[in-house]
Structure 1
Amino acid sequence: MNKEDSFKEKFKQAILSTVKVISEDNFLNPKNKKQLNEENLKVNDIENIKDKNEFIKIRAENDSEALKRKFSNKSIFEKNMPSNHSCQSLYKLSEKIRYEMLGSEMLMGISKNFQKNYSNKLKKIDLTKIKKKDDVNISDAFEIYMLDKFLKVQIEPEAQKILSFWEKELRDTFDKHITYLNKNLENQEIYNSKFSEILENMEIFDNEENDEKKETQEDNNQDNSSSNNQDDNDSDSSEDKKEDDSLNEGVDGLDDINEFRLDEQTTSEENENQQSESVVQKKNLGVGDRDYKVYTTEFDEVAKAENLESPEEISKLRKNLDQQLTSFQDIITKLANKLQRQLLAKQNRAWEFDLEEGLLDSSKLPRIIIDPYNSLSFKKEKDLDFKDTVVTLLIDNSGSMRGRPITIAALCADILSRTLERCSVKVEILGFTTKNWKGGLSREEWNKSGKTKNPGRLNDLRHIIYKSADTHWRQSKKNLGLMLKEGLLKENIDGEAITWAFNRLKKRKEERKIMMVISDGAPVDDSTLSVNSGDFLEKHLKKIVKFIENKSDIEILAIGIGHDVSRYYQKAIKITDVQELGDVMIGQLSGLFENKKKLH
């Protein structure tokens, strides 16, 4: 094998390894690895590489395939596919850009691969055959628009000319939704459904669809009337059957948490069609909880912590948190070491002996001395199931937590995140509050629409991602200081926050999943409770927690700061200060790792 062939083979293996790591397919059944190698990747193109740009192209295309496997759920994608055929190519492009953006944020190398590859692609555009708008495919213009607005690729003059023919229509349609779509990149359900809705409402596609209908109608007019009547009857009965089926599906799925996910509030057309009042969006949201309603989700927000404040302010707040940590440094070190020992002890380490390769087994060396003809013996540590674990810390960011409670919560998150990651346990840190006091824009909308009775939840939610499970603590530690910003802390609507965290957690591939809720008591939102029953939010929280405890394989544990929360959670701890974390946390948290929870 010459040097060139050797290099290409090494490059091929590097591509395969990278894709497996990014997509996490190395954790799947070995059968899938063969499919990954032969059918989905463009490694065979390596043999025909001629220049540097082709290397970049192969890396970018395989990065994209890996990210598709990691971030794109096929069933969600297909469920939200626009019915209008003309929209579908744009819809597919939008999803591709979504998971490529998530990958670009995850790893700098992936971002560079995409930037270089798209720049090379845009430079190759041939303008000789493009003279007017009809010569430009809207899919090409849309891809350039998405690269500009989302992936921030530098647009070459050739590409800018392509975009210019469709720029007005695209800007008028999409510019006003870009912020919302960016905030929901990690939520495929919301992102896909919103894009589908936007595309279906584009006037250019309406015109194309009308033209198709007109052509179809002209063809049908050539048939005899009896055939038309028969077809109409068949069509009507078919439509009736579809409606009956959809209604039956809705009834059968009432106890499924998927039917009431927070991320589906904005996408359920069936619920919207059932509303007797067009303005009010009283949507069911809960686990079989018909009593819980939401007035509108239009102003809700899922935000990354780093996007809520300037980097300078976040750094300043983190320094404030570090100052608080200083006085507890000895306690933190002891706690971290003790908790780590407890968790590592649960791993039940085991070795395989008398192997032909691995680590040299020094205990068998004496027999070599006695008889030199004996072969060396090796050992290897068995794979540990314990590592296949993820923990979500969901922290109440309400106004009642202001001061010492939120400081304790931030310290808890910081300590637990660092300690658990030492034990190879992935940790996600989330927060929940509202965007405004007294209802915000949701209440304003309700006032304008005539103040309907019992409107349901009446405030603008703000759910915050401080640290995702796949991000290391060192990369996200600054974000935890944001909890100390007083202006952030407002109302707390616990039931919907737990639903949101639950849905994020259940999508994870880890076998063992644990949710820890850090709160200071009951859910409170003055705007909602002033126009609904006094226990409206509390009842919903209890139903959500009960469902997770009894009908899911996710463990849920609550830490009440200064308040007893055992009336909501079966497993609950009460602490009043960081000093109490040691004994209480070790006893409760390490206990969760002993055995996987059995479904009831």
Structure 2
Amino acid sequence: MLENDEIVDQFKKSLSATIKSIGKSNTIEVNFVQDGPSIDGDIINLNEPNLQSLKKNLNYMRAEADSMALEIRLHTKEIHQEYLGNNDVVNEIFNAVEQSRIEAQGSHIFKGIKLNILNKHKFDIQNTEDKNNKDKEDYKEIIEAFRYVSYSELTGEILGGKFSAYKKLIQKKLGHEYNDFFKKLRNNITNQKNFADLLQTFLDNLGYYDHNNKQDGIDNEDSSEDKDLHDEDNKSKNQDSKTDTKHDDEASSSDLQQASSMDEDQKMGDEANENDLEYFPKIESLDKLENYKFYTDKFDEVVKAEELCDLKELDRLRLSLDQQVFTFKPLIAKIANQLQRKLLAQQTRQWEFNLEEGYLDTSRLARI
């Protein structure tokens, strides 16, 4: 069980580091939750992995992380908000096509990401085909069609499953402007504002902005007024409760931190007493991860430690390493003894001299 948890923890660390590298931001916070993937500013929430999910859906999880990291790197939230209005259908279409723009631009930059996201969309569209039913609302079908068709047209990749039906639906909506529409979008894939302007113009020509816009505006005004009154009442009620619970939260937080530190110390003490090979995760279990491989070693490089930090920092790191390895000294000695016995067992050296006289001169043997 321990080695499985360590494998999952290593995957989490690697995935978090990859997200920060792709997103070009050290302020990104990566959380692993049970509620499904989401993104809020610089906070990325991903599904909590386990060893079973790593075996089956490793590339899918990497694709989700890649897509969110690209959104932080290539998407400006303020520009996107300018084009969102009261029409939920238009907003969903905007979100879907903008995500396709982000993924397409990222696919041009990172070839490995392109493969991950492509396989993810193929998997999703296959599942969408299985889940769809006759009672599904038309607007959801249109949003899914814009999502997959825009990704396909912007990247040049063909998806399977229900993709052909989605493409026919969009071609029917756009008519003779289909090719011109996606050609202009491809030419502005690196400019979010121009891309959004073109998309807004085409959606307006299709009549999406006129549909229910007036009624949506009236309904939203009434609901916003009611919401403001309701929020004011809740604010006054919650203010007192927050004041009362503040001190309790601080006290409980302090107790939890103290208990957590004691548990960690106890855990470290227990591990220090072990002297067998169970210290390490079983490396052979990694071979059971199907279809896992690195995409390319083109960008790999070897850099000397002296080039990364100065001598003072190297001494500090060396001291830190010695402290961490201290508890493993009994295990290191055990492994070293086993290795020595194996090496000695392979020796076939022998001495033969003075055989004609019928005895062995031990003094000469000592000199050897």
TM-score, normalised via structure 1 length: 0.33
Shift of 1:127: 6.5
Structure 2 residue aligned with 1:67, among 70, 92, 95? 70
- How far, CA to CA, are the matches of 2:149 and 2:81 in structure 1? 23
- RMSD (Å), alpha carbons: 3.5
Mapped partners of 2:56, 2:203: distance in 1:
33
Q: Paired residue for 1:140, among 135, 138, 144? A: 144
In 1: Cα distance, 2:182 partner to 2:73 partner:
23
The residue aligned with 2:199 is: 195
Structure 1 regions of 5+ residues with no counterpart? 27-31, 221-348, 361-600
Aligned partners of 1:215 and 1:354: how far apart in 2?
A: 61
Partners of 1:68 and 1:99 within 8 A in 2: yes
CA deviations over 1:309-359 (Å, ceiling 9, x no partner): xxxxxxxxxxxxxxxxxxxxxxxxxxxxxxxxxxxxxxxx99573874248
Deviations 1:470-517 (A, max 9, x none): xxxxxxxxxxxxxxxxxxxxxxxxxxxxxxxxxxxxxxxxxxxxxxxx
Q: CA deviation at 1:54?
A: 2.2
Query: 104, 110, 113: which is aligned to 1:110?
Result: 113
- Deviations 1:111-130 (Å, cap 9, x if unpaired)? 01011111111111226623
- 8 Å contact from structure 1 (residues 56, 113) kept in 2: yes
- Give me the whole-angstrom Cα distance separating, in 1, the residues matched to 2:67 and 2:190: 16
Q: How far did residue 184 of structure 1 move? A: 1.6
Secondary structure at the aligned position of 1:41 is classed as strand
CA distance in 1, matches of 2:216, 2:69: 43
**Cα separation, partners in 2 of 1:117 and 1:4, compared to 1, 3 Å:** same
Q: Is residue 101–residue 151 contact of structure 2 (8 Å, CA) maintained in 1?
A: no
The answer on 1:90 being equivalent to 2:72 is no
- Residue aligning to 2:134: 130
Query: Over alpha carbons, which structure has the higher Rg?
Result: 2
Counterpart position of 2:24: 24
Distance (whole Å) between structure 2 residues aligned to residue 164 and residue 145 of structure 1: 10
- Summarize the alignment of residues 451-530 of structure 1 with structure 2, pairs less than 5 Å apart: none
Instruction: Choose from 148, 158, 163 the match for 2:162.
Output: 158
User: What secondary structure is seen at the aligned counterpart in 2 of 1:208?
Assistant: coil
CA shift, 1:50, in A, is: 3.2
Q: Distance in 2 between matches of 1:132 and 1:43?
A: 28
- 1:169 match: 173
Partner of 1:80: 83
Give, in whole Å, the separation in 2 of the partners of 1:196 and 1:355: 56
> 1 CA distance for matches of 2:122 and 2:65?
17
> Does residue 1:4 correspond to 2:8, yes or no?
no
Structure 2: 5+ residue stretches without partners? 33-39, 223-307, 320-368
* Superposed CA offset, 1:281-313 (max 9, x none): xxxxxxxxxxxxxxxxxxxxxxxxxxxxxxxxx
Give 1:172 deviation, angstroms.
4.3
Partner of 2:312: 353
The 5-angstrom pairing of residues 311-350 of structure 1 reads none
Counterpart residue type for residue 6 of structure 2: S
- State how many pairs are aligned: 222
Question: For residues 159 and 136 of structure 1, do their structure 2 counterparts lie closer, same or farther at Cα, with a shift above 3 Å needed?
Answer: farther
Q: If each structure's helix is expressed as a fraction of its own residues, which one has the higher value?
A: 2
TM-score (normalised: structure 2): 0.52
Read off the aligned partner of 1:188 and give its amino acid letter.
Q
- Higher RCO (CA < 8 A, seq sep 6+): 2
Cα distance change, pair 353–136 in 1 and its aligned pair in 2 (3 A) = closer
Contact kept, 8 Å, 2:30 with 2:46, in 1: the verdict is: no
Distance 2:184 2:85 in 1: 19
* 1:21-68 deviations in Å (ceiling 9; x for gaps): 111112xxxxx34x3446733444213753655222211111011111
Give the direction of change, closer, same or farther, for the CA distance of 1:148–1:53 in structure 2 (3 Å limit): farther
Change (3 A) 1:51 1:152: farther
